[in-house]
Amino acid sequence: MELSYDYALDRDCTTLSRHVLQQLQSFGPEAQDLSAIMSRIALAGKIISRRLSRAGLVEGALGFTGDINVQGEAVKKMDLFANEVFIAVFKQSGLVCQMASEEMEKPYYIPENCPIGRYSLLYDPIDGSSNVDINLNVGSIFSIRQQAGDDPEQIGANLLQNGHHQLASGYILYGPSTMLVYSIGTGVHSFTLDPSLGEFILSSENVRIPNHGPIYSVNEGNFWQWDDAIRDFIRYVHRHEGYTARYSGALVGDIHRILFQGGVFLYPGTLKDPQGKLRLLYESAPLAFLIEQAGGAASTGVRPLLNEMPQYLHQRTPLIIGSKEDVALVESFIEERIKLDRDKLQVTP
């Protein structure tokens, strides 16, 4: 006899670790490792989510530490806490040999894990942390790469590879509910934290980003600091029907909206910061991998983002990411300006 609650039970049992094994169609060592890494990331997400949900009630959760990080930005208490949560869940895990994050100048090397831990984890523990103090959404971003050797001299240097070397990536969105969205190279899947079970449960499988969408997401306060090409694009969306602006100040939330509804997110270079604000290895590349897996595109404006070779760990890069047609539209404005500039140079005697 078929029971009517079979479907609900099956869904409740589709946890993240089980899903990874299903996706890889294997119980081999690599599949087991990746499944275990994802379940540790989920644990980090649950601990961070728990603290965020009570941040206004507990001591030492809100505000700044008074320190300045390697990027020259003021460190928030929550940034530091979340960074340590990731380290705590991966220490003595035997899974990850080194961890690199926005909050640490150098990668965190875990020698005791290295003989067996064949992976590196790159992450932004709390992205969009200016939203923490006002109780708006923030996120964590992660990327898993194969560890290349365990020579301590090479630690850090071996992370400098393009985004195609990622084995998996994703983000955790701390919003009205906590969601974890990941890709392991087999499409994009989203999970919602069920607080009553304390587990991330599958909520959408094989998410596909629309080819075109209405959203454009950019900090227009930087308008006069952009190149002409980006200003051309913004003027275009202002003058055409069917576009609407959404910008939360936290990349993960903005990307999540675009993943489900379509559109484009931009953080281009500015006069002050020609490479923009977002970091290649643990912000832009993981999201580019994920969005491409969902059928979208990611670009620096002139090249596919995933082809970009980092020269150093905390390198920044301009980012244009989202629906294929919308990313191509922005790129076409950039190409047009490059052509105009080239023509001008040729005319000038």
Q: Which two tokens stand for residue 126?
A: 């709390």
Cβ distance to Mg ion smaller for residue 127 or 199 = 127
Q: How far is the CB of 232 from ligand AHM (least distance, A)?
A: 20
Which of 113, 129, 203, 300 touches ligand AHM (CB under 6 A)? 129
Q: Does 230 bind ligand AHM (CB under 6 A)?
A: no
Q: Which residues, other chains included, contact 6 with Cβ-Cβ below 8 Å and sequence gap of 6+? A: none
Cα 347 to Cα 349: distance, rounded to the nearest angstrom: 6
* Concatenated DSSP letters of 311-342: SSTT-B--EEEESHHHHHHHHHHHHHHHHHHH
CB 207, CB 261: distance < 8 Å: no
| Local structure of residue 226 (DSSP, 8 states) | S
Q: Does 170 bind ligand AHM (CB under 6 A)?
A: no
Cβ distance to ligand AHM smaller for residue 257 or 277 = 277
Q: Of 84-92, 126-134, 197-205, 268-276, which segment contacts Mg ion by CB under 5 A?
A: 126-134
Q: Does 77 bind ligand AHM (CB under 6 A)?
A: no
Q: Does 124 bind Mg ion (CB under 5 A)?
A: yes
* Nearest residue to 244 via CA among 252, 254, 253: 254
x-or-dash string of contact with ligand AHM, 191-220, rule CB under 6 A: ----------------------------x-
Q: Does 277 bind ligand AHM (CB under 6 A)?
A: yes
Q: Of 110-118, 125-133, 176-184, 305-313, which segment contacts ligand AHM by CB under 6 A?
A: 125-133
Cβ distance to ligand AHM smaller for residue 16 or 287 = 287
Q: Does 127 bind ligand AHM (CB under 6 A)?
A: yes
Distance of CA 19 to the CA centre of its chain: 20
Q: Does 286 bind ligand AHM (CB under 6 A)?
A: no
| Local structure of residue 303 (DSSP, 8 states) | S
Cα 96 to Cα 117: distance, rounded to the nearest angstrom: 5
Q: Of 38-46, 121-129, 181-189, 334-342, which segment contacts ligand AHM by CB under 6 A?
A: 121-129
Sequence-ordered strand ranges (E) for the chain: 64-68, 74-76, 96-101, 108-109, 119-127, 138-146, 166-174, 178-183, 188-194, 199-204, 215-217, 244-245, 263-267, 297-299, 319-322
Q: Of 88-96, 118-126, 197-205, 337-345, which segment contacts Mg ion by CB under 5 A?
A: 118-126
Q: How far is the CB of 83 from Mg ion (least distance, A)?
A: 11
x-or-dash string of contact with ligand AHM, 236-265, rule CB under 6 A: -------------xxx--------------
Instruction: Judge residue 240's burial from the number of C-beta atoms within 10 Å of its C-beta, 0-12 exposed, 13-18 middle, 19 or more buried.
Output: exposed
Q: Which residues bind Mg ion (CB under 5 A)?
A: 124, 127
Q: Which residues bind ligand AHM (CB under 6 A)?
A: 73, 102, 124, 127-129, 219, 249-251, 277
